[in-house]
C-alpha cells in the first residue's frame, strides 16, 4: 500500500474553485476582507485569504453567517468537482436575482443553461 499519496480531504469539493467563487461573490456584493473579518469576529484576516486561495474551507458556522449576510444558500459558495459549469450558471443567476430584489427591480426570469431549465 502506498502511503506517499496525500488523500484529498474533500473529495467532492473543488477547494480552489470554491475559494475563487467565494471571493467573487463577496467582492461583487461589496464586501472587503476587513469587513468580513469584523462580521465573522475573526481575530485576523488570514483565514479569509486562505479561503480565497482554496487552501482551507470556512467552518460551517462561517458559511452559515455569510449565507445569511448575502441571502443565499451555504452551498452556493462551494463548487463540486464534477458540475462546475452548471454551478457557476446557477450562482450567477441567483446573484442577479438577489441584486434585482434588493434594487427593487421586478425581473425574476428562469435560468437556462445549455437549453435546460434550472431551478
Tell whether the model's pLDDT for residue 113 goes beyond 50: no
Q: Could you tell me if residue 29 is left (phi over 0), alpha (psi between -120 and 50 degrees) or otherwise beta?
A: alpha
pLDDT for the residue 99: 65
The pTM (predicted TM-score) of the whole model is 0.62
H-run or E-run covering 86: helix 84-102
Tell whether the model's pLDDT for residue 19 goes beyond 70: yes
Q: How far is the C-alpha of 14 from the C-alpha of 81, rounded, in Å?
A: 5
* pLDDT tens sequence across 44-90: 999 999 999 999 999 999 999 999 999 999 989 998 876 555 555 55
Q: How far is the C-alpha of 29 from the C-alpha of 71, rounded, in Å?
A: 11
Tell whether the model's pLDDT for residue 114 goes beyond 50: no
Whether 81 contacts 13, CB under 8 Å: yes
Amino acid at each position: 500500500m502506498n502511503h506517499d499519496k496525500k488523500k484529498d480531504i474533500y473529495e467532492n469539493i473543488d477547494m480552489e474553485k470554491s475559494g475563487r467563487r467565494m471571493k467573487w461573490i463577496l467582492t461583487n456584493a461589496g464586501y472587503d476582507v476587513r469587513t468580513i473579518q469584523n462580521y465573522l469576529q475573526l481575530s485576523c484576516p488570514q483565514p479569509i485569504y486562505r479561503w480565497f486561495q482554496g487552501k482551507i474551507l470556512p467552518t460551517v458556522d462561517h458559511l452559515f453567517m455569510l449565507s445569511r449576510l448575502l441571502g443565499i444558500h451555504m452551498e452556493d459558495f462551494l463548487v463540486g468537482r464534477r458540475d462546475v459549469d452548471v454551478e457557476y450558471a446557477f450562482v450567477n443567476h441567483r446573484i442577479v436575482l438577489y441584486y434585482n430584489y434588493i434594487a427593487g427591480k421586478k425581473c425574476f426570469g428562469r435560468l437556462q443553461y445549455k437549453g435546460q431549465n434550472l431551478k
